[in-house]
Structure 1
């Protein structure tokens, strides 16, 4: 097994161990969702609130191991497997941080979510940009439009642009830490805008290639 895969598996185990440790300390009704103003607006029962992140992590871990085995273009995926592994490592670290955030909030140690999420998601966006730059054509990881999946050249050009845009999105997301009242805008607007641009860009590249 790959070294990072072992570490990732340990992080999922850690998520369950943290759940077992904090479970007795959690209230019967737990805050698990926050609105754009940083106010708790979603709640769960004690068990589901405590183990929400661990079970989500377990499902994602299964997909993490499954994808390289079932992808029809798995030989391409293997070419950037270290970037794939590192993305999931960072993602699971983010989930662990989110798990701590939920537990601390419900212990009345309240960190402003509008300061937490811009940093956490900004880091994910930046590494996503690094991943996109190195991703080879496959069915599960990357900017998967009908046009990128149909052409290696369209895939490569779209992902080079996507790499730059997601790094920019991450930097913009970080700025939401300082303008925390509007942090959700700093997170959502760049990602949604850039995703739309990349879909359109891949279409026009494909049309140009096939004229």
Structure 2
């Protein structure tokens, strides 16, 4: 079966991530769930303020199940990808992303309990710092790693032109690296100024930054395919 060739160190990483999810889930069910009031915040606006509430029982999926699902998907991707053997050539990049994203999802799982129990204020900048700041750091990390990602069907800039041509894949990912770093820095900066912006303006700026970067990378790849760029 194609996929990652795991060493003892690799297996230790995935076991540690599984242990993190299991520890978080146990603490959530045994401590946080009984401690929370019956109605808890479950949604936050672009300004970082809680704007949606539900019963605490409704949070079990996001708080307990979702991190396990994300981890299982990340683990399975190299084995499900028809080009899974290529993951061995950028294994460090993929496992680093998997670890960072799993930690991010575990942190998100605890946002509701932390807010419901008064550790995090229902209004303020902390939520935006956590969410947008983490997203920004993930984008920066991906941008730095982009040039090292080898052709595959599930991780990276997967466009018809990159998948059809290894040279297009290589050049597109080299171009995408700085673009993703800029997207990450801009998202990180927004996390510090989000409370000073109207919510609609915050959403608009974030969409321009993220969609603009993605469209720019896709356009570059397309122009390479059309031989407009040489």
Confirm whether residue 22 of structure 1 aligns to residue 36 of structure 2. no
Within 5 Å, give how 1:1-211 maps onto structure 2: 2=10, 3-20=12-29, 21-109=31-119, 110=121, 112=125, 113-181=127-195, 182=197, 184=203, 187-208=206-227
CA distance in 2, matches of 1:180, 1:147: 36
Is this contact kept in 2: 1:19–1:51, CA < 8 A?
A: no
- Cα distance change, pair 9–187 in 1 and its aligned pair in 2 (3 A): farther
TM-score (norm 2): 0.83
Q: Quote the residue 2:3 is aligned against.
A: none
Larger mean Cα displacement after TM superposition, 174-183 or 56-65: 174-183
| 5+ long unaligned stretches in structure 1 | none
Using the size of structure 1 for normalisation, the TM-score is 0.90
Q: Which runs of 5+ in 2 are unaligned?
A: 1-5
Shift of 1:66: 1.4
CA contact (8 A) 2:70 2:102 kept: no
SS at match of 2:151: coil
Indicate the SS of the match to 1:149.
Answer: helix
1:72 CA drift (Å)? 0.7
C-alpha displacement of 1:39: 2.5
What is the alpha-carbon distance in structure 1 between the residues aligned to residue 95 and residue 84 of structure 2? 14
Q: CA deviation at 1:114?
A: 2.4
Task: Name the SS of the counterpart of 1:148 in structure 2.
Answer: helix
Secondary structure at 1:41's aligned position in 2?
Answer: strand
CA distance in 1, matches of 2:78, 2:166: 19
Aligned pair count reads 210
Q: In structure 2, what is the Cα distance between the partners aligned to 1:87 and 1:193?
A: 23
Deviation at 1:53, TM superposition (A): 3.3
Alpha-carbon shift at residue 184 of structure 1 (Å) = 4.5
Q: Distance in 1 between matches of 2:139 and 2:128?
A: 16
Q: For 1:31-62, what per-residue CA distance to the aligned partner results, in whole angstroms no more than 9, with x for missing partners? A: 12111222322333212314413311111122
Superposition RMSD on alpha carbons, in Å?
2.1
